[in-house]
Structure 1
Amino acid sequence: MFPAEPAAATDPSRTMGFTEIKSWLRHRHPMLYLDRVLDYEPGVRLVSRLAVSAQMDAIAGHFPERAIFPASHLSQAFAQSGIILFQLSTSPLADDELTLVGAMNSRFFRIVTPGDTVTIAVTADRLVGGTTFFFSGRAVVDSTTVAAFRANLVRRKAADMGHQWW
């Protein structure tokens, strides 16, 4: 149902550092969660990494007496991994295009706290017409699965989504 535990990258040409990740995502601080892409194969899979720090904005208020990385932010990191794999599998987004999460199913098994390094592995399940992408994956900390996901993304032109207030 979900991909096997991610393996370490073996080909440096299939990795991405933080600067390159920013070229694939429109997200910026404080909503950019991926630190590194460890490995990828377009149309097949992507493995990314997120280092959770006590200095993250999300940790400051969640919760002051016991810091926990929000599950919604872990879901966003998973979606960002999927967005990159979607583009690698089709083409980069045009300036007037956006990706939207059509649906996401998630299951959380353990909390994630500052000091954890989360490895996210996503697998391409199905691509429909280059505009809809179905994918699944899991998040792992120290070989323990902390969450599992299934989702789909759609590619849309911003103008097709109605009047934009921005």
Structure 2
Amino acid sequence: MAQLPIPVTEILKLLPHRYPFLLVDRVLAYEKDSSLTAIKNVTFNEPFFQGHFPDKPIMPGVLILEAMAQAGGLLLGLSREGLGDKLFMFTGINNAKFRRPVVPGDQLTLECFEAKQKLSLWRMKGRATVNGELACEAELTAAIVDRDKM
């Protein structure tokens, strides 16, 4: 098991995303093949706030979903060894619901749980909260693919 909390320097070894698209700052909790809890610190300096929206900055819902998908990728990456030549491709989302806006200064807690694998496909539930208040929830699916076949 990885030493918790897992800082961004270790996250960079597991995810191919880089600034400005890396949306996970730290992993707080992890249970192999089952669940992961991570955080995203939402700051006013995020590039998307320039246009979404200039007078009322709100984190785009699609980026909240992407942050949950990245947390799911971390769950899969930590649960499986020898995946250095693989990518986790976000393949689907079901039942996405947005409950509150996410704004600068919020700390988004990202949870992925009930992860299940069937062949190279994974299905899991995701939830994003701010101070315990639900911001977004969805069912996520991802596929493990070879990097060189992209």
| TM-score for both structures, normalised by structure 2 | 0.92
> Is the 8 Å Cα contact of residues 35 and 115 (structure 2) preserved in structure 1?
no
SS in 2 for 1:72: helix
Which residue number corresponds to residue 8 of structure 1?
Answer: none
Which residue number corresponds to residue 40 of structure 1?
Answer: 30
> Is the 8 Å Cα contact of residues 24 and 92 (structure 1) preserved in structure 2?
no
Q: Which runs of 5+ in 1 are unaligned?
A: 1-10, 162-166
Q: Take 1:77 and 1:25, find their aligned partners in 2: how far apart are those partners?
A: 12
1:57 aligns with 2:47: yes
- Bigger radius of gyration: 1
Which residue number corresponds to residue 91 of structure 2?
Answer: 102
1:7-54 deviation line (CA, Å, top 9, x unaligned): xxxx99232011111111000000001111001011111000011100
Q: 1:86 to 1:124 in 2, by over 3 A?
A: farther
Please state how far the C-alpha of 1:133 moved relative to its aligned partner.
1.1
121, 128, 135: which one pairs with 2:118? 128
1:61-100 deviation line (CA, Å, top 9, x unaligned): 11111101111111110000000101222235333x2221
Q: Which runs of 5+ in 2 are unaligned?
A: none
SS in 2 for 1:14: coil
Tell me the C-alpha RMSD between the 2 structures: 1.7
Superposed, 1:19-98 pairs within 5 Å as: 19-95=9-85, 97-98=86-87
SS in 1 for 2:71: helix
130, 139, 145: which one pairs with 2:128? 139
| TM-score for both structures, normalised by structure 1 | 0.83
Identity of aligned residues (%): 30
> Is the 8 Å Cα contact of residues 104 and 149 (structure 1) preserved in structure 2?
yes
1:101-149 deviation line (CA, Å, top 9, x unaligned): 11112110111000111101111431123x2111112111011101101
Q: Take 1:160 and 1:70, find their aligned partners in 2: how far apart are those partners?
A: 30
110, 115, 119: which one pairs with 2:105? 115
Q: Take 2:13 and 2:114, find their aligned partners in 1: how far apart are those partners?
A: 21
